[in-house]
Every structure is written in C-alpha cells, then in structure tokens.
Amino acid sequence: MGNRNTFLLPDLGEGLPDATIVEWYVKVGDTVRLDDNLVSMETAKAVVDVPSPVSGKVLRLGGGPGDVIATGAMLAEFEVDPTMPQRAEGQDTGHHHGARPAGKGVGTQDPAPDDRVVASSEGGAIEDAGVPPPERKSDAGGERADSGTVVGAMQSSDAVQSDRLLSVGGVRAMPAVRALARKLRVDLSRVTGTGADGVVTMADVKRAAAEGTAAAGPHPSPPPRAGEGAADFRQSPAAPSPPAGEGRGGSTRNAAQRTALSASGRPMRTRPPSVSASGQPEQLRGVRRNMARVMADAHSKVVPTTLVDDADVQAWHPGNDVTVRLVRAICAAAAAVPALNAWFDGDTLTRTLHPHVDLGIAVDTADGLFVPALRNADLLDARGVRAAVDRLRAQVEDRSIPASELTGHTISLSNFGMFAGRYATPVVVPPSVAIVAAGRARHQVTPVVGGFESRKVIPLSLTFDHRACTGGEAARFLRAMLDDLALPD
C-alpha cells in the first residue's frame, strides 16, 4: 500500500485567500498521473486548471462544485503509487500553510508563458531547489510590489468556507460555465446538467454547443422545480403587506411561498411581520467576492477627492474613437503631471512615480468588475490602443485573460458614459493614486461672443488620493486632459 499524500490548495495568484471549485476532472477511486488536470478552480482573476501533484489513487476530495476552499486547505488526498512517475524530492517548494516565514506565500506562479499552475504537495508552485523566492517589499528607491488581484490587494485567510451553488433563473451553474455558454451561444436552460445535484458543467456546455441542441433563442419558461412551488426568487426582496382587514383567511400566498426553507435548503432570513420577502441570501464568489473585499479596503485607506469638468470635443473630426482619445489624453496628462501616474505606500509613506503608463481599463461583466492593464499605453498609436483594448475585453469576457494582465496598472480609466451618467466619484484602489471616469457625451448651450452655441462635451471626473497628490497637481492633470481632448485629431 502506497503512502498517503494530502494536497493543499496552492495560491493560484498572488495572495488570493480562496478559490471556488468549478468542476472536478476526477472522482474518488480514480487513478491519476503526475500533472494531469485535477480540478477547475475559479479565483478572483480567472478560471484555472489545477494539476495533480502526484501519481496515484484519489482517496478523498475537499469539496464539490460551488464550494469555496481557502488557500492552504485540503483540496484532495491521494494514495501515492511508487510504480508511477513522481516529482523528485528536490523539487519540493518548502512552502507551508499557517505560520510561515515572512515574505513567503503559499505558492508562486509558474514562470512558463502559459501561466499554468504547477502543483506540489505543499500547495505551492515548483521552484528551483535552494533558491528562495525574493521577499516582496517596498522602499523609497524601488517599485512597490503589486498585490495582484482583479481590482487590488486582498487579505489572506486560513478559514474554510463551504457554500452551496445557488440556482439563477432555474439553472445551477458556476459563473465560468455561464461565461462559456455566452461565448458559445448556448442557452443554459436547455442544457441537462450532469454534475452533482444537476449542476451544469463545462463539459455539458461544450457538448450542447457541438450538438446544436441548446442554441440561444426564444423559448418557453421552464416549469418550477420540485420543491420550489410557484415561488419566484427573482422578485424584489420586499413586497407590500396585505391590505388591512384582509386577515389570514384572505391571504393568497401558497404553501411553497410560506416555507421556512430557501431553494438551497437553508433557513430563510428573518424579517419583520409586516414585510413579505422572497429574495434569497447569496454568497459572493469569485470576482464579486474579491470586489467586495477590495472596495472596502480602499474605502478604509484612501483619502479621495474628486474634481469634475467638461471636455469640449466640438472640434473632433468624424470617426474619432472616444476610448482611444481618452487614453491618449490620460497619457498626455501623465507626462505633464507625473504625480498622478504613481503608486503610494501608506505604511511607509513612500511613492513611486512611473515613467510609463500602464492604464487599467475597467471592464464590467455579469460576474463583476475586471481591471486589465493596457501596457505601455503611452507608446501606442490610435490603432494600437484600439486593438489592445479589444483584445483585453475579449479575454475578460471569455475568462481567458492571463493573471499577469490584471495587475500593476499605474492609473485607471472608467468609461461608464457608454451606459449612462455624467459625473461620478470612482474609487481609487491602492497602490494607484488616481482614476479618471468619463460620462455620457452630450450637447450643451455655451455662451460665445454674439450669442450662444450648442457644443458637444464629455463630462470628466478625476478622483485622486489626497495623501499622495495635491489639489493643484490634480487640477493641472485635468487641465492637460481637457487641452488634449479639445484637439481635432
């Protein structure tokens, strides 16, 4: 009988505290080989495949689809087969979970260009023997280490949380599966789930796309699932109480709506007697989970101040790309006022001014907010900027974007005006010190010599961290943007 090996979940990014199981490629009793894909995990950055650290028999799995596993917690247990290929002892990472030396994480990213996670039984990536990873630190003369998440730094955690997969629209599927379905134009409501408890898996979506049996399109609403009755859990969380005098006998709510259990089998949240609520609590996962942590952390650390103004773009020639012009204007302003294209370390009170512009582009998705970095934006021409933005957006939508593209931006842009709104107070996420937001373009009446003119303007909002930048620097940065956007081309 071979030795038992417990595989701990490695750090799938840089400091990510947990990950969600999307799909197991093995089951208890299966025999796996070293570096075979073991499980698909969703992190705040992307969906990644985690390979097996050993060759042998699967004895135990740490959870099912939808469960959140903390970094360093048990992911799987194996019975090692000594007759099959195994990783050499000298390749062990030396990383441990719980108490560990300062500056060392649970694991590191594989240096290979494919960004694949390389597994080890200690839960970390493989490193050359005898060469410890460099400690991450910040000093006045060097760049500050970025924490490497979707929208900023995250706190580490040793707690294991197990969350059930909740159905959305009657379909039980992880966000990554839904993203794949959108990409392949597959209607998830027409797909039969083969996962545990009817969960729709990646394989189900790919099979439906190949067979053409679940093409997206109009279709009748599916009947309620057994046990759900006629309850519609997509209603607003609160509804008006019955009219006075109606009494218990006049209520039209059926037994399914009065049940004390939610669709996931958990107790309903309590509420005042006068409120009728049918909404269900939902555990945040993946990108949204990270966004909640990061926004709260940024709110507690940054001292934000916002300036607003309107950019006159009446002189633009037809065919100007709004996003491209905004990127160019930010680069021009960063060259004129470098103080806003910087990182700030509030613990050591040091800042790093960047000679290049790595612009974070906010991308809104159904799963949450991504901020991929447009590298060296100051060196790209208009065509290069448009091609790079389209590539990043496509990679975000299909969740294929490398983790390295989601870190290290020096300043950010949110073009929320493509939906609605004029001005905003966008959130600055450390270590960056500034973010520009562009509202919806409009025509406004402007006084001129001899009368009035209708001129096209784009509302701009600039939020900056007042710990690192002065009001004068921010105003000059905004002025430089306005001057660049006023040019015809």
CATH number of residue 324's parent domain: 3.30.559.10
Residue 52 placed within a domain: yes
pLDDT at residue 135 tops 50: no
In this prediction, residue 170 carries a pLDDT of: 66
In this prediction, residue 197 carries a pLDDT of: 75
Residue 178 placed within a domain: no
Domain at 21, CATH number: 2.40.50.100
Q: Which residue has the higher pLDDT, 252 or 452?
A: 452
pLDDT at residue 461 tops 70: yes
Which range marks the domain in which residue 38 is found? 4-91
Domain stop point among 91, 125, 153: 91
Residue 28 placed within a domain: yes
pLDDT at residue 383 tops 80: yes
Strand 18-24 to 4-8 pairing? unpaired
Q: What is the pLDDT of residues 324-375, one digit of tens each?
A: 999 999 999 999 999 999 999 999 999 999 999 999 999 988 888 899 999 9
Query: Under 8 Å CB-to-CB from 128, ≥6 apart: which residues?
Result: none
Residue 346 placed within a domain: yes
Domain stop point among 91, 115, 143: 91
The model's confidence at residue 182, banded by pLDDT at 50, 70 and 90, is confident
Domain stop point among 45, 70, 91: 91
In this prediction, residue 283 carries a pLDDT of: 82
Residue 264 placed within a domain: no
Rg over alpha carbons for the chain, rounded to the nearest Å, is 26
Type of residue at 121: S
Q: What is the pLDDT of residues 421-451, one digit of tens each?
A: 999 999 999 999 999 999 999 999 988 888 8
Average pLDDT over residues 195-203: 82
Residue 391 placed within a domain: yes
Total domains in the chain come to 2
Kindly tell me the burial class for residue 90, based on how many C-beta atoms sit within 10 Å of its own C-beta (0-12, 13-18, 19 or more): exposed
In this prediction, residue 212 carries a pLDDT of: 82
Tell how many helices (H) and how many strands (E) occur in the chain: 7, 19
- Of 1-5, 172-176, 259-263, 295-299, the poorest mean pLDDT is in 259-263
Most confident of 11-15, 318-322, 338-342: 338-342
- Which ranges constitute the DSSP H helices of 168-321? 175-184, 202-211, 255-258, 286-301
Average pLDDT, the chain: 77
Q: Which residue has the higher pLDDT, 129 or 56?
A: 56
In this prediction, residue 271 carries a pLDDT of: 58
- If one counts every other C-beta atom within 10 angstroms of the C-beta of residue 209, the result is 18
Q: Which residue has the higher pLDDT, 73 or 150?
A: 73
Residue 126 placed within a domain: no
Residue 197 placed within a domain: no
Q: 465, 326, 363: which is closest to 151 by C-alpha?
A: 363
